[in-house]
Amino acid sequence: LSRTGTLNSTKPNLTAVLCPAALTGAGLLLALVPSAGCNQALVSMLLVLAMGVYGLAAGGATPALVDMAPAHAGILYGIAGTVSNASGFLAPLIVGMLTSPAPSLGNWATVFYLTCGIYLLGALAFLAFGSAEVQPWAQPAPQHGTVASHIEHQADNAHRFDLTTSFAESFHMF
């Protein structure tokens, strides 16, 4: 896709397309599961397709963390992993509450519609707040004592140069 220019071939555009497309596609496929009723083959096919489509999110949200803040990627992955893994213990509790005391197709339909809603909410959140650009808060601070900071210092003091000063005095900043 990048070579052919199909999706405008820039990384931010690919990220902006992949994550919401994955979440929306997977959510809609999960919303179809209740209509399959007790047809195990159809339910299995919809679940496999939903998770396959959801795999596209790996090309969107995952690299976006590195792109947003390269110097803080480890911290961002830690926070994102902690938040996303919370669903690992919350989902069974919520499903248990929604399907007990007697699991039924109606109860399970609620579970799948709720999951679809969460996926669609995630897609909207990524569209609203997601980015593959380095964020202003992630810009490295200028460091004193480096060549770049010395050049900036010289540029800031360039207007102070006085022709009446001696050659030696003009290099006092070294």
* Residue 150 placed within a domain: yes
pLDDT tens digits, 7-42: 445 566 777 788 899 999 999 999 999 999 999 999
Mark whether 45 and 91 lie in a shared domain: yes
SS (H, E, C) the chain: CCCCCCCCCCHHHHHHHHHHHHHHHHHHHHHHHHHHCCCHHHHHHHHHHHHHHHHHHHHCHHHHHHHHCHHHHHHHHHHHHHHHHCHHHHHHHHHHHHHCCCCCHHHHHHHHHHHHHHHHHHHHHHHHHCCCCCCHHHCCCCCCCCHHHHHHHHHHHHHHCCCCCCCCHHHCCC
Return the pLDDT at 139: 83
* Residue 3 placed within a domain: no
Return the pLDDT at 8: 47
* Residue 164 placed within a domain: yes
Mark whether 146 and 117 lie in a shared domain: no
Mark whether 152 and 87 lie in a shared domain: no
Higher pLDDT, 150 or 88: 88
Mark whether 99 and 174 lie in a shared domain: no
Mark whether 135 and 145 lie in a shared domain: no
CA 59 to chain CA centroid, Å, is 9
Return the pLDDT at 130: 79
Mark whether 118 and 147 lie in a shared domain: no
* Residue 1 placed within a domain: no
Split into its structural domains, the chain has a count of 2
Average of per-residue pLDDT values in the chain: 81
pLDDT tier, 78 (very low <50, low <70, confident <90, very high otherwise): very high
Return the pLDDT at 174: 45
The number of residues in the chain equals 174
For CA atoms 162, 168, 173, 174, give the dihedral sign.
positive
Which residue, among 11, 100, 111, has the nearest Cα to 64 in the 3D structure? 11
Which residue, among 120, 93, 101, 106, has the nearest Cα to 33 in the 3D structure? 106
Query: How far apart are the C-alpha atoms of 63 and 37, rounded to whole Å?
Result: 37
Mark whether 122 and 133 lie in a shared domain: yes
Mark whether 174 and 109 lie in a shared domain: no
Q: Which domain holds residue 149?
A: 141-174
